[in-house]
Structure 1
């Protein structure tokens, strides 16, 4: 191993130290400010949550493999799911994958070569993505082995890891090409919109894949081979399973050769120019961040910002949206997901003549989106700057409440307006749209207030954890929200034709919001008094 690293120009001891340190920091990122004594327990809890959540998804894939009659269709399903999982996970945290301004503080004054630091960063990413691939891919691999033999199981394992590896390297290569193409100064602004566009591509691909599987594989339990399938890289990795099962043919062999060629090309590309210029790139990125001009039109007190705490939180939100790519992506990612749910609902209605489109998934998105944004709003790489909350005369209770109010005013309300406009364009009646949006909006506001009541948090005061650290909490929240969403969606049809009943329901929801809002202050005051700053 040491000789291999030396041949690549990487210092083995430095690489090992940097990699282990990065992994330890990722595990400890599950802790929160003021709770360092329990940091290891929280990190272990987050790890167990990931295992349960992604292992459960893997079990669902194993069931699909067991019941699908066509081996190739099952292989395509598993590989496509692994590729989709790795791609979406990396897209959410792409800014810190290879280049980050904070790297300059580590690399600039230490005798660590660019190639060594690059290798350590890439290893950290691969451990994360291959770990996810293991949790999701191992159950279907076992299903392949039990159903088709040990050789097919081994080939399935190779397909899972090869597809995850190539997806990771492809995204990293695209990122590094973007750094060279547009320069470090424009990277911060352009990258978030590139991520936004790729999100539409990824979620649109999910719809196309689901259409393809529904119409060809699940209906007939058969997915015939075709030369056109080689245009989809997932076919290359699924070919491993077909060759191991004895289906030796020119198309299968071509798929395997193409996958190997792709991996070699990506590895050679990453070993080349960027590794030699890594120090220059992150130094330029740091300088570009320091040279960013101040905002031309600062926020001023007015109708929306009469309270100093509200104005302070608003300035923080705007500043993080401009400069924190992870936070910006977490906000923008709501839109492609919403469009995905709208399209899925319309497909359900179009599949059965006379049947209304299914808005169940869209209702879940409306209920949980503000809560997910609240969780992202509490995290930041610059969380150590939250010391200012504890040394200024600012009211921490008002800061927590201002965070919730701004999420409602500038997050939930524009989101509901966007959904209402989309539904009207799609042909929904105005009365039905008003009933649906108003009921879902008040319920979403109530959910956000309840979450704030249970777990009040200061804005941008916690270290950022891996996106999947709270995946089991998200799954639980979606399950609970799904029940509320189903009930409210069913109520829309009979209620929108009865104005008095609709008014009574809206009044009850508004009263519940007001009651929870009144209960929030004493609890937040107690919790805010217990908060402590820990660097």
Structure 2
């Protein structure tokens, strides 16, 4: 398969040579990169795999997952009465998923600075390096796209006949190339226009926002849009549709398989869909690739160097100091508070895993709220006169659980030797500072936003419920920290395998949040009972937190720092 893709890239050699790419060097770089790829497990499932997982089994999982997912959203081809609309919806979903794959898995490939140690000292120009990386990404994504598009190819054979299958294959390839070049053009433009540090920040937040957008659209659009209305939607009656790449790709089917339905506009859009990837290649090579190596070197230097100009984080240190001194007056606890606050606010890997959870909670809540019968207005009225806000408040425990699960993990865990070198007799004080930091930095502001939303929708009568829910979720968090979080802040490797006995403990602790929420729902009919319940909840939380603060080194899972 890799040889086939290398020959496919070789078809563009005449065009690439005219733009200044050394095609021999390009072929060798790609050959070595593909060889290295075949010797490591796929990126998908990397965060979940065990040490014994083989490359073959991981590849099989990726293939099965892609086929199932491709069949699910390929079913839209049967929904619409107009094939152009059906294929537009399909390729919209297809391109979004390919773009999401690129953003989540291949940003690090595009801006990987490790290759510079090998390639930079040799006479390889910027254009060759840039095209080699984009081609490497393209080959991997094309392989995934062909597997994901296979179910739809079979479906289109039943809809339009066997002749439509090879045309659909071309459409899949064009859609994949368009996704690749749109994402990479955005990235390369950012690399040219912003500083390396700012570039990495923008990409991180873009990844988070895009993941949230896809999740929200997947969950809510089917609830808000009636498919029966879209089945006869007249797409070509709207001028804005002429500028959408999925419409260009769908027009290929109209022109080649159903020429009787084709118009001048659909023919022009089909031609546009074929030519835009070629124009994108030229634009990347001639305009964006020059200076690519220099920008990568700047990004590499920005990882370890700091500028003489004070950063925003440094300017905010005075506020952080005041908060730390107020919430954690003990010196050791204060140190745990500060290091957790600063690393959690600056570590991109941590933010990539935690930040999406903040948006998933309201999306899930809207999904369950709109799942009943009736229109959206009727569902909102029903929600406003019920007690679903209790579900929303306790559902936020997922955020606290995600933070606690990630707070002790990092790719750079070897720097944690400093914890063990210091004369600290009770590491529980560091853990207490860590817990206070994640509460003050993340959970308390988040609960404040949710509480304000609840007051706006349900009125001031829910204030006591908000206070009690906050304390009960904090109680749940302390229990989780006691039994499941056995590491100091950012001190453990990400793929550290947990013991099998933790599974039952984890399930029991997870069920604890549901038990708290159900009990709160039962008591919510008595206003005064909720106010009274706040007192014992706060007392139990205080007792457990003080017990957590007394954790010894025997309670901490130590990692060997090599």
TM-score greater than 0.5 by the shorter chain? yes
**Which residue number corresponds to residue 221 of structure 1?**
231
Alpha-carbon distance change, 147 to 327 in structure 1, aligned in 2, over 3 angstroms: same
Query: Distance in 2 between the 1:520 and 1:63 partners?
Result: 52
**Which residue number corresponds to residue 454 of structure 2?**
423
Query: Distance in 2 between the 1:131 and 1:397 partners?
Result: 49
Alpha-carbon distance change, 446 to 150 in structure 1, aligned in 2, over 3 angstroms: farther
Query: Distance in 2 between the 1:339 and 1:236 partners?
Result: 35
Query: Distance in 1 between the 2:511 and 2:76 partners?
Result: 25
Q: For structure 2, which runs of at least 5 residues remain unmatched after alignment?
A: 1-5, 496-506
Shift of 1:497: 3.6
Q: Does 1:170 align with 2:182?
A: yes
CA contact (8 A) 2:113 2:300 kept: yes
Q: Does 1:281 align with 2:308?
A: no
Alpha-carbon distance change, 69 to 517 in structure 1, aligned in 2, over 3 angstroms: farther
Choose which of 311, 314, 321 in structure 1 pairs with 2:338. Answer: 314
**Which residue number corresponds to residue 402 of structure 2?**
372
**Which residue number corresponds to residue 9 of structure 1?**
22
**Which residue number corresponds to residue 412 of structure 1?**
443
Query: Distance in 1 between the 2:115 and 2:423 partners?
Result: 34
Alpha-carbon distance change, 272 to 379 in structure 1, aligned in 2, over 3 angstroms: farther
CA contact (8 A) 1:54 1:132 kept: yes
Q: SS of the counterpart of 2:89?
A: helix
Shift of 1:173: 0.7
Q: Does 1:254 align with 2:285?
A: no
What TM-score results when the alignment is normalised by the length of structure 2?
Answer: 0.71
Alpha-carbon distance change, 378 to 69 in structure 1, aligned in 2, over 3 angstroms: farther
Query: Distance in 2 between the 1:508 and 1:46 partners?
Result: 49
Query: Distance in 1 between the 2:494 and 2:557 partners?
Result: 23
Query: Distance in 2 between the 1:234 and 1:360 partners?
Result: 42
**Which residue number corresponds to residue 304 of structure 1?**
327
**Which residue number corresponds to residue 96 of structure 2?**
84
Query: Distance in 1 between the 2:508 and 2:75 partners?
Result: 25
Q: For structure 1, which runs of at least 5 residues remain unmatched after alignment?
A: 466-478
Alpha-carbon distance change, 31 to 486 in structure 1, aligned in 2, over 3 angstroms: closer
Q: SS of the counterpart of 1:531?
A: coil
Alpha-carbon distance change, 497 to 211 in structure 1, aligned in 2, over 3 angstroms: closer
Q: Does 1:145 align with 2:160?
A: no
Alpha-carbon distance change, 485 to 183 in structure 1, aligned in 2, over 3 angstroms: same
**Which residue number corresponds to residue 500 of structure 2?**
none
Worse-matched range after superposition: 282-291 or 15-24: 15-24
Worse-matched range after superposition: 190-199 or 10-19: 190-199
What TM-score results when the alignment is normalised by the length of structure 1?
Answer: 0.74
Shift of 1:48: 6.1
Q: SS of the counterpart of 1:356?
A: helix
Query: Distance in 2 between the 1:77 and 1:51 partners?
Result: 23
Q: Does 1:270 align with 2:284?
A: yes
CA contact (8 A) 1:199 1:333 kept: yes
Alpha-carbon distance change, 377 to 155 in structure 1, aligned in 2, over 3 angstroms: farther
Higher RCO (C-alpha under 8 Å, 6+ residues apart): 1
CA contact (8 A) 2:332 2:429 kept: no
Query: Distance in 1 between the 2:478 and 2:229 partners?
Result: 41
Choose which of 151, 157, 181 in structure 1 pairs with 2:193. Answer: 181
Query: Distance in 1 between the 2:73 and 2:203 partners?
Result: 33
Alpha-carbon distance change, 41 to 504 in structure 1, aligned in 2, over 3 angstroms: farther
Q: Does 1:499 align with 2:527?
A: yes
Shift of 1:249: 0.8
Shift of 1:182: 2.4
Shift of 1:417: 0.8
Larger Rg: 2
CA contact (8 A) 1:404 1:449 kept: no
**Which residue number corresponds to residue 159 of structure 1?**
171
Query: Distance in 1 between the 2:422 and 2:208 partners?
Result: 37
**Which residue number corresponds to residue 242 of structure 2?**
230
Shift of 1:259: 1.9
Query: Distance in 2 between the 1:445 and 1:191 partners?
Result: 36
Alpha-carbon distance change, 407 to 320 in structure 1, aligned in 2, over 3 angstroms: closer
CA contact (8 A) 2:337 2:436 kept: no
Shift of 1:488: 8.3
Q: SS of the counterpart of 2:283?
A: helix
Shift of 1:428: 2.3
CA contact (8 A) 2:45 2:58 kept: yes
Q: Does 1:531 align with 2:549?
A: no
CA contact (8 A) 2:417 2:561 kept: yes
Shift of 1:76: 3.2
Alpha-carbon distance change, 186 to 145 in structure 1, aligned in 2, over 3 angstroms: same
Q: SS of the counterpart of 2:450?
A: helix
CA contact (8 A) 1:58 1:136 kept: yes
Shift of 1:281: 0.8
Shift of 1:211: 7.7
Query: Distance in 2 between the 1:452 and 1:276 partners?
Result: 54
Query: Distance in 2 between the 1:165 and 1:13 partners?
Result: 22
Shift of 1:123: 4.0
Alpha-carbon distance change, 367 to 145 in structure 1, aligned in 2, over 3 angstroms: farther
Q: SS of the counterpart of 2:326?
A: coil
C-alpha distance after superposition, 1:399-419 (max 9, x if no partner): 566545533342222111112
